[in-house]
Structure 1
Amino acid sequence: MKVQMTDLQRLALDVYNGKAVKFNEVNGEDAIRNAITQAVGGEFNYKNFRENKYKVFSIIEELVDVTLGVVLTNQFDNLAEVKNVAVGDRPSFRVEDPSLFRIARIAGGTNDLRRQKLLNGRFEVDTDYFGAKIYAELEMFVAGRVDWTGMINRLTLSFANDLGSKIYEAIANSYSALNQTYGVTGTYSEDKLFDMVQHIESRAGGKKAVVMGTKKALRKVSKDLVMSDGMKEKFNQVGHIGTVGGVDMILLPQMHKIGSDEFFVDDNMLLVIPAGEKIVKVVVEGETQMIEVADAGTRNDQQMEYLVQKKLGVGVMQNAIYGIYKIQK
Structure 2
Amino acid sequence: MKAKMTDLARLGLDVYQNKNVMFNEVSGEDALRNAINEACGGEFNYKNFRANKYNVFSIIEEVLDVTLGVVITNQFDNLAEVKNVAVGEKPSFRVDDASLFRIARIAGGNNDLRRQKILNRRFEVDTDYFGVKIYAELELFIAGLVDWSSMVNRLTISFANDLGVRIYEAIANSYTALNQTYGVTGTYDEDVLFDIVQHIEAKSGGRKAVIMGTKKALRKVSKALDFSDAMKDKMNQVGFIGQVGGTDLVLLPQAHKIGSDEFFVDDNMLLIVPQNEKLVKIVVEGDTQMIEVSDAGARNDQQMEYQIQKKLGVGVMQSAIYGMYKLA
Same fold? TM cut 0.5: yes
Question: For 1:297-308, what aligned pairs fall within 5 Å after superposition?
Answer: 297-308=297-308
DSSP-derived class of the 2:159 partner: helix
State TM-score, norm by structure 1: 0.98
Q: Which runs of 5+ in 1 are unaligned?
A: none
d(CA) in 1 for partners of 2:16, 2:238: 25
Question: Which secondary structure does the structure 2 equivalent of 1:154 belong to?
Answer: helix
Q: Which residue of 2 aligns with 1:27?
A: 27
Distance 1:160 1:29 in 2: 22
Please, which moves more after superposition, 20-29 or 132-141?
20-29
Q: Which runs of 4+ in 1 moved over 4 A?
A: none
Matched-pair identity in %: 78
Residue aligning to 1:264 = 264
Instruction: Give 1:228 deviation, angstroms.
Output: 1.2
Residue 17 of structure 2 corresponds to 17
Q: Which amino acid aligns with 1:125?
A: V
Corresponding residue number in structure 2 for 1:233: 233
Deviations along 1:20-43, one digit per CA (max 9) or x if unpaired, are: 111111111111111101110111
Query: In structure 2, the residue corresponding to 1:212 is in which secondary structure?
Result: strand
Deviation at 1:17, TM superposition (A): 1.5
Matched, 1:121 2:121: yes
Structure 2 residue aligned with 1:99: 99
What SS class does the counterpart of residue 157 from structure 1 fall into? helix
CA distance in 2, matches of 1:11, 1:319: 41
Find the counterpart in structure 1 of residue 252 from structure 2: 252
1:217 and 1:26 mapped to 2: Cα distance? 46
Residue identity opposite 1:111 in structure 2: N
Answering whether residue 95 of structure 2 is matched by residue 90 of structure 1, we say no
Q: CA deviation at 1:2?
A: 6.5
Alignment deviations for residues 144-196 of structure 1 (CA, whole Å, 9 cap, x no partner): 00010000000001110011111101100100000001000000010011110
Kindly report which structure 2 residues correspond to 1:197-208, keeping only aligned pairs within 5 A, or say none. Answer: 197-208=197-208
How many residue pairs match? The answer is: 328
| Structure 1 letter corresponding to 2:282 | V
Q: Tell me the residue number matched to 1:210.
A: 210
Report which stretch shifted further, 19-28 or 49-58: 19-28
Cα distance in structure 2, aligned partners of 1:170 and 1:74: 19
In the other structure, the counterpart of 2:58 is 58
* Separation (CA, whole Å) in 1 of partners of 2:218 and 2:16: 29
Per the TM alignment, residue 230 of structure 1 is displaced from its structure 2 partner at its CA by 1.1
CA RMSD of aligned residues (A): 1.0
CA offsets 1:307-329 (integer angstroms, 9 cap, x no match):
1000000000001000011001x
- Equivalent residues in 2 for 1:283-298, closer than 5 Å: 283-298=283-298
Q: What is the Cα deviation at residue 73 of structure 1?
A: 1.7
CA deviation after TM superposition for structure 1 residue 3, in Å: 2.1
Distance across 2 between alignment mates of 1:70 and 1:18: 14
Q: Could you list the runs of 5+ residues in structure 2 that have no partner in the other structure? A: none
